[in-house]
Structure 1
């Protein structure tokens, strides 16, 4: 019988305790030795004294190992202090599951990696990707690499070039501008409505535009430097509706009080809001005037009424008339 190298034995012991033990699952010394034999194969000898030294060494390396006593004083060993709490891993997996820009295969691979951050017993209790599949997922395999290119360009204030497109009625992806490249000064990469968006300024323009990253193709980082605009991105995003760019404008709304939380979700607790009567509330806030804003307002039907500005009121009325004509 031969003894395995002490370093390999220690690493394998750490792996066994991490993967197979937690708050409710422990291993006895005999079970640890049996697991080591399974890992190293027949012909290897494992002494209890050597394993106890390994346990002491791991503890000194801040890999905390708990020892409890069972019946007849039998000792059991476990590693309970995982890098992440169970609820934290669940949050990470739910974020992966809701991200439509990630392909199904990539989502499954990422979730398996996340599950590897805890014991196999606790991992079995985490969400299964096959049970939470989104109806729409990206099929563009290069996306993960292009996100890195975009982030590098943002960090180094370099312009990027890319093609942009969308699906047609036959579900074919068609490039816009006959495949011509867009040249953009990228300011921020944000995750909104389960998609990644690039916020940037197109060459020759001054206002911000939004680009769905999963609709971008052949992203290239150029050597052209640009000066970033002085803008609070978080504030800008909060004023954008469904990631439509537009001119900032004061709007005043009358809304049913049942929508108070909807208003707070979109405009934040800092929005100027007050009670009109027992049924309605009043709201005044700055928002980006865009198609997204109009569609969001129409979504609430008669429960929300635009009071100001007047031109937005007229735009809403015109859209309602078009809807009426569609159904006549």
Structure 2
């Protein structure tokens, strides 16, 4: 093992709590002598560690080393480890432990709704991050699934300008710009659904950052909007459900929730997309769409489609429908 790797691993171990020669020796599998361990301790400043934040007690081989930190700092580190997505805690476990220490079972995540940590996700994240850093275009050869409601608006293969990676509802998304037409458009893709490669074509990423921020500002979540309009969304929630919904972050343009009789009125300004309608259905009979009329109609249309399923047998196939693809 390289010297710098040992230092990084030792740093991660010390972040977990006080360590002795014996515990450090055990961590490295008995491959280091006490003298080598002390030399590693002395060399920690080589990786930018401030010795003022480091303390030792005891003498010779009985020393205990630990990092000075407040309970708040230690608990912040434990919380950070606990909420990391599965793709990091599984595919990049060794590196994560170097950076923030081992997982603390007392603080854990359910990982509910997260993408499975398979190899394709990890590989695609690397490809996209590399393309962003080098400002090179990506070629998307194909896509499996349609989690962001692209519909038939894009024909593959296609070149896109990668701007950022966004983590949303347990999944990683490529935020990109499609510039095949006169007017560039912001398109999002779920990372693990893509078959892609880096091209040798470069672009100026900074030229498109403002465009992307402006477009995402008026999306509910990450999905494509059905059109270019921004709507005044107005919803009425039942009292108990509203108490929960009003305290969660849903959108940048969400107004202060208002008490209305025995319920709550929640308003925000954004486009209409499949994600918004799907979000409404999770509240079941505890929400009513008040405005705009277009959202009322789309919501009722989905209600009618679901009611029709009551007449289907268990063997009747379900046909994929997407009434929220961008109108091109």
Task: Verify same fold: TM over 0.5.
Answer: yes
* Change in CA separation of 1:78 and 1:291 when aligned onto 2, cut-off 3 Å: same
How do residues 13-92 of structure 1 correspond to structure 2 at under 5 angstroms?
19=13, 23=17, 25-26=19-20, 39=31, 62-63=50-51, 64-68=54-58, 76-81=62-67, 85=74, 87-92=76-81
Higher relative contact order (CA 8 A, sep 6+): 2
1:316 alignment partner in structure 2 = 299
Find the counterpart in structure 2 of residue 162 from structure 1. Answer: 140
Among residues 83, 103, 107, which one is paired with 1:94 in the alignment? 83
Matched, 1:240 2:229: no
Give the corresponding residue for 1:212.
190
Counterpart check, 1:250 vs 2:228: no
- Contact 2:186–2:212 under 8 Å retained in 1: no
SS in 1 for 2:297: helix
1:325 is paired with a residue of what secondary structure? helix
Q: How many angstroms does 1:191 deviate by?
A: 0.9
Q: What residue in structure 1 maps to residue 97 of structure 2?
A: 115
1:239-271 Cα shifts (integer Å, max 9, x gaps): 433521114322111112322432432135952
Q: Which residue of 1 aligns with 2:263?
A: 280
**Cα distance between partner residues in 2 of 1:217 and 1:82:** 46
1:219-234 equivalences in 2 (<5 Å): 219-225=197-203, 227-228=207-208, 230-231=210-211, 233=213
Q: CA RMSD, aligned part only?
A: 4.7
Mapped partners of 2:13, 2:189: distance in 1? 42
For 2:83 and 2:193, the matched residues in 1 are separated by: 23
For structure 1, the 5+ residue unaligned runs are 1-7, 169-175
Number of corresponding residues: 284
Q: Is the 8 A contact 2:231 2:271 kept in 1?
A: yes
Change (3 A) 1:66 1:231: same
Q: Whole-Å Cα distance in 2 between the matches of residues 163 and 57 of structure 1? A: 51
1:250–1:156 CA distance, 2 compared to 1 (3 A): farther
Deviations 1:114-163 (A, max 9, x none): 334578xxx4745799x97988515344x444434433444555432112
TM-superposition CA deviations, 1:81-132 (whole Å, max 9, x none):
17983641552353132xxxx3xxx74352233334578xxx4745799x97
- Counterpart of 2:149? none
Greater Cα shift, 55-64 or 312-321:
55-64
d(CA) in 2 for partners of 1:155 and 1:55?
33
Could you tell me how far apart the structure 1 residues matched to 2:98 and 2:221 are? 35
Out of 102, 116, 131, the residue aligned to residue 137 of structure 1 is: 116
2:255 to 266, 271, 276: 271
Query: Which sections of structure 2, spanning at least 5 residues, go unmatched?
Result: 147-151, 312-328
After superposition, the Cα gap between the structure-2 partners of 1:239 and 1:214, relative to the gap in structure 1 and judged at 3 Å, is: same
* In structure 2, distance between residues paired with 1:198 and 1:305: 33
- Identify the residue that residue 5 of structure 1 maps to in structure 2: none
CA contact (8 A) 2:132 2:163 kept: yes
- Which residue is equivalent to 1:303? 286
Give the aligned partner of residue 324 of structure 2. Answer: none
Greater C-alpha Rg: 1
Contact 2:9–2:98 (CA<8 Å) still a contact in 1?
no
1:16 and 1:77, CA in 2 relative to 1: closer, same or farther beyond 3 A?
farther
